[in-house]
Amino acid sequence: MKGLEGIRTKRRAFSLVEIMAATMLLVIGFLGIFATFHSSAKLREAAEETNMAMFELKSVVEYIFGRPFDHVTTLLPDGAVAEIPGVTDRGPHAGLDLADKELVVTYDDPSADPLHFTVTITWMSRLGTQRTESISTARAR
């Protein structure tokens, strides 16, 4: 009977090239995950700002519908910046504000009935771009 020295066990180890290739695949995977999280954070922030802007637009439209018809164009002149204290300071985003926001109400014909108007909000996003949203509707006597 032969001794154990005649039996050779083959041990297979990873080569340096295989380890480097696996490391590169892991790095690429982690970069992809990081890019996905970064993009998703930007999209969430843009959606949050749009949601705040739409809430403010709807609040101004409600304000217009709540005023006597004959006083609407006097309270909010055509093309003027709408300053409506207390209207846009409530709701789910109270305490948060859009940077450099400007609300403007414009009318197709200020003396018409029904009164067709557009409320536009413009603000500077936290990502450094100027954003605009608007709502167009009409109100009759």
Encode pLDDT of 85-128 as tens digits: 666 555 555 556 788 899 999 999 998 889 999 999 999 998 88
Q: Is 63 among the domain residues? A: yes
For residues 7 and 18, the model is more confident at 18
Q: Give this prediction's pTM.
A: 0.71
Residue 28 placed within a domain? no
131 closest CA partner among 99, 96, 93: 99
Beta bridge partners of 130: 124
Per-residue confidence (pLDDT) for residue 95, from 0 to 100:
55
The percentage of residues in the chain with a pLDDT greater than 90, rounded to a whole number, is 55
Q: CB atoms < 10 A from the CB of 60, how many?
A: 23
Range of the domain at 111: 50-139
DSSP-based three-state secondary structure for 82: coil
Would you say residue 128 lies in a domain? yes
Is it the case that residue 11 has pLDDT exceeding 60?
yes
What's the domain count of the chain?
Answer: 1
Average pLDDT in the 3-12 region?
64
Q: Does some domain include residue 15?
A: no
Task: Classify residue 2: in a domain, yes or no.
Answer: no
Q: Is residue 34 part of a domain?
A: no
The stretch 53-68 carries a mean pLDDT of 91
Domain-located, residue 135: yes
Please name the residue that has the structure tokens 């890019």.
35
Omega into 85 within 30° of 0, i.e. cis? no
Residues 6+ apart with CB under 8 A from 114: 138, 139, 140, 141
